Amino acid sequence: MSPKHLSRDTKRFLWIGILPSALLYALFVIWPAINALMYSFTRWDGLSTPVWIGIDNFVNLFKSGSDFVTAIGHNIYLTVVPGSIILTLALFFAWMIHLKVAGSTLFRVTFFFPNVIASVAVALLWVLLYSTTEMGPINNIRQALHMEKVPFLESARLLQSIVPMMVWSATGFYLVLFLAAMENIPVDYYEAAHLDGASPTLQFIRITLPLMWDVLTTGIIFLIVGGLKFFDAVWVMENGRPSPATHTMSSLMYAKVFEEYNVGYGTAIAVLLFVLVLIITRISMRLLKRERLEY
Amino acid sequence: MRGSLLEKLGTLVRTGVLGLWMLGVVLPMFWVLATSLKSTKEVTRSPFGIPDALAHPGAKTFAVIAENYSKAWVGSGFSAYFWNSLKVVSISLALILLLGSMAAYCLSRFEFRGRNAIYNAFVAGLLIPMQLILIPLFFQYADWSDVLTRGFAPIARVHGIAPQFARRHHPDLCCGKFTVYDFHVDIVLWDTAWRGSRSGDDRWRERSEDILQCDAAARKARAHHGGHFQLPRALE
């Protein structure tokens, strides 16, 4: 079916088929994205006429000591620390389940379960767990062990307190991802390695990891993107009023636009966030790239 | 023989480690479930004990559960929110399946000029984060809502993710800023009218009048104060 052979009917069919999605897509994705770029070069309160100010917004974002620079630091923290723990634990548990245990389906389902809960609900659950009232389980356990109560949710501690929450809720997802990749590897390789006298550890490093490298890369990129866009828990745990000490890029953007009516500044953050995510994913993909192995 | 013993030990250790993590994942959720079965008094008395409702099942303890859940379902408006989610999900799911499969079929089954360009444009959209388009989309909805609420009210209501978003989460935005505020009034007005006319209750006319009067006052004030005017809280 080369272009020449399209009849008029076919052409009409194509128009009807593609136009609705293309239109919706242009209206609700492309157009707002273009608008975002435009807003980011203006000073605008969302009401009056926007004033074109060139790259001033971006210059202000990177002034030393600006909230945005601090927020980037928080995002990096929330990417690297929970990310590495999640990755390690998920690989470790996936490998353990892969080595055959009784009740592996039970483990899979329960580990995955936190992913079914909305992220806001997860954050609220952890607010309860961290509570300093007599109801808060974690502080209760601490008291039973004769330790001081800790205000886990105060601004200075919040980012550290979010780490266990992220590990708790995300590990299951990556575990399921990695386990599926592990189970796709043909058994023959392990049998051959076993005959050659390779230890399980060696098998893991020389067979499992290289053959699931693609999936591992995907997992790492998910974690990076998720960390850079992090929003919900900070917002919920700070009751919708994060301070500069806890803001992430997303929450800062949101606060700038919807609380300070600084639309130009806020969209500048959004544009930078987009560019940052794009660049960092690109770089990490390049770094993680290996010769593709197939079985 | 020794090998199999070691293997058994290994399996035991593995199961133990996995089981520990499983407890860590499941316990907080069970705790929430158990708490939902307790009265407020019981929660403060024994936050971690087995709920009375399970320990001594009976009419009295059952009433506690019924009260909690009916409060959550009706009192906090959960049923309304649930219905909202259901509407958004079912309509968008149907549209996505229909329109998406239509476009996908055309793009995969036929060869024509611009096919790759269109396909690539769609794929590129996956890279655009929600955060980037959230703000412009918000103002876009605000600008359009005038048309939408008047012309296609039912559609605007169902698709009013932005209006709902505005009303639920940004009362101060709705009142402080008039671009957004204008459409807020439209939605409230329409909502009142819709509910009123359906329930056969005629008071909606009065309420609408009130809202319109407030609206007119606000518009006047806007002209007067150059846009920096706070709407009376009473409208919330």
pLDDT per residue over B20-77, tens digit each?
Answer: 999 999 999 999 888 888 888 888 888 888 888 888 888 888 888 888 888 888 888 8
- Please tell me the least confidently modeled range out of A1-15, B78-92, B194-208: B194-208
Q: How far is A172 from chain B (nearest CA, A)?
A: 9
Cα distance between residue B128 and residue A225, in whole Å: 12
Of the candidates A247, A270, A71, the residue with the CA atom closest to the CA atom of residue B134 = A270
Residue to test with chain B: of A30, A44, A101, A134, most B Cβ within 10 A: A101
List the alpha helices (DSSP H) in A99-154: 104-112, 119-130, 137-144
Residues B142 and B234 in one domain: yes
Looking at B106, B127, B148, which one is the last position of a domain? B127
Of A20, A134, A171, the CB nearest to B102: A20
Percent residues over pLDDT 70 in chain A:
97
- B-chain CB neighbours of A22 within 8 Å are 103, 118, 121
User: What is the reported pLDDT for B57?
Assistant: 82
Half-sphere exposure (CA, 13 Å, Cβ side) for A66? Answer: 16
Quick one: CA dihedral B94, B139, B145, A33, positive or negative? negative
Contact A47 B178 (CB under 8 A): yes
Contact A93 B18 (CB under 8 A): yes
Residues B151 and B82 in one domain: no
Cα distance between residue A174 and residue B173, in whole Å: 39
- Strands A42-43 and A51-52 turn out to be antiparallel
Residues B173 and B189 in one domain: yes
ipTM of this predicted complex? 0.82
Q: How many CB pairs under 8 A join A and B?
A: 163
Higher pLDDT, B17 or B219: B17
User: What is the reported pLDDT for B3?
Assistant: 63
Residues B159 and B231 in one domain: yes
Give the global pTM: 0.75
Of the candidates A122, A229, A218, A226, the residue with the CA atom closest to the CA atom of residue A177 = A218
User: What is the reported pLDDT for A220?
Assistant: 93
Cα distance between residue B27 and residue A198, in whole Å: 39
Asked whether the beta carbons of A89 and A167 are under 8 A apart, the reply is: yes
Contact A229 B131 (CB under 8 A): yes
Of A6, A129, A278, the CB nearest to B112: A6
Q: Does B13 touch chain A (CB under 8 A)?
A: no
Of the candidates A157, A152, A165, A155, the residue with the CA atom closest to the CA atom of residue A124 = A165
Asked whether the beta carbons of A255 and A33 are under 8 A apart, the reply is: no
Residue given tokens 């939605």 in the structure block: B187
Contact B14 A36 (CB under 8 A): no
CA distances from A146 to A140, A141, A142, A172, B15 (A): 10, 9, 6, 32, 31
Counting Cβ atoms within 10 Å, is residue A97 exposed (0-12), middle (13-18) or buried (19+)? buried
pLDDT (tens digit, 9 = 90+) per residue, B2-11? 567 888 888 8
- B-chain CB neighbours of A103 within 8 Å are 15
- A-chain CB neighbours of B107 within 8 Å are 18
- B-chain CB neighbours of A39 within 8 Å are 135-136
Residue A294 three-state SS: coil
User: What is the reported pLDDT for B190?
Assistant: 45
Contact B21 A111 (CB under 8 A): yes
**Domain extent for B224:** 130-236
Positions in chain A whose pLDDT score sits under 50: 1-2
Mean confidence (pLDDT) of chain B: 68
Q: Does B223 touch chain A (CB under 8 A)?
A: no
Torsion angle in degrees (nearest 10) through CA of A104, A105, A108, A114: -140
Residues B101 and B140 in one domain: no
Report all structural domains of chain A as residue ranges with CATH numbers, in order of start. Answer: 3-56 (no CATH), 67-288 (1.10.3720.10)
Q: Does B112 touch chain A (CB under 8 A)?
A: yes
Cα distance between residue A136 and residue A169, in whole Å: 19
Asked whether the beta carbons of A75 and A227 are under 8 A apart, the reply is: yes
Higher pLDDT, B216 or B77: B77
Residue B185: both structure tokens together? 């009034």
Contact B111 A113 (CB under 8 A): no
Residues B206 and B139 in one domain: yes
Instruction: pLDDT band for B158, please (50, 70, 90 cuts).
Output: very low
Task: Please list, in sequence order, all residues whose beta carbon lies within 8 angstroms of the beta carbon of residue B46, skipping any fewer than 6 positions away.
Answer: none
User: What is the reported pLDDT for A3?
Assistant: 53
Q: How far is A168 from chain B (nearest CA, A)?
A: 7
Asked whether the beta carbons of A97 and A106 are under 8 A apart, the reply is: no
Residues B115 and B17 in one domain: no
User: What is the reported pLDDT for A92?
Assistant: 94
Task: Please list, in sequence order, all residues whose beta carbon lies within 8 angstroms of the beta carbon of residue A156, skipping any fewer than 6 positions away.
Answer: A245
Q: Does B23 touch chain A (CB under 8 A)?
A: no
Residues B105 and B170 in one domain: no
Residues B136 and B221 in one domain: yes
pLDDT (tens digit, 9 = 90+) per residue, B162-175? 444 344 333 333 33
Of A2, A128, A277, the CB nearest to B129: A277
The B residues from 34 to 63 touching A (CB cutoff 8 Å) are 43-44, 47-48
User: What is the reported pLDDT for A255?
Assistant: 87
User: What is the reported pLDDT for B132?
Assistant: 80
Residues B134 and B98 in one domain: no
Residues B154 and B226 in one domain: yes
Residue given tokens 């272009």 in the structure block: A3
Q: Is the pLDDT of residue B198 over 90?
A: no
Number of compact structural domains in chain B: 3
First and final C-alpha spacing in chain A:
35
User: What is the reported pLDDT for A59?
Assistant: 93
Cα distance between residue B108 and residue A166, in whole Å: 39
pLDDT (tens digit, 9 = 90+) per residue, B124-151? 777 777 778 877 887 777 667 655 555 4
User: What is the reported pLDDT for A76?
Assistant: 95
User: What is the reported pLDDT for B152?
Assistant: 44
Residues B144 and B176 in one domain: yes
Report the b/e string of B62-88 with b at 16+ CB within 10 A. Answer: eebbeebeeeeeeeeeeeeeeebeeee
- B-chain CB neighbours of A115 within 8 Å are none
Of the candidates A9, A25, A29, the residue with the CA atom closest to the CA atom of residue B99 = A25
Half-sphere exposure (CA, 13 Å, Cβ side) for A157? Answer: 9
- A-chain CB neighbours of B105 within 8 Å are 17
Q: How far is A33 from chain B (nearest CA, A)?
A: 5
Q: What is the largest CA-CA distance in chain A?
A: 82
Q: How far is A183 from chain B (nearest CA, A)?
A: 18
Contact B129 A273 (CB under 8 A): yes
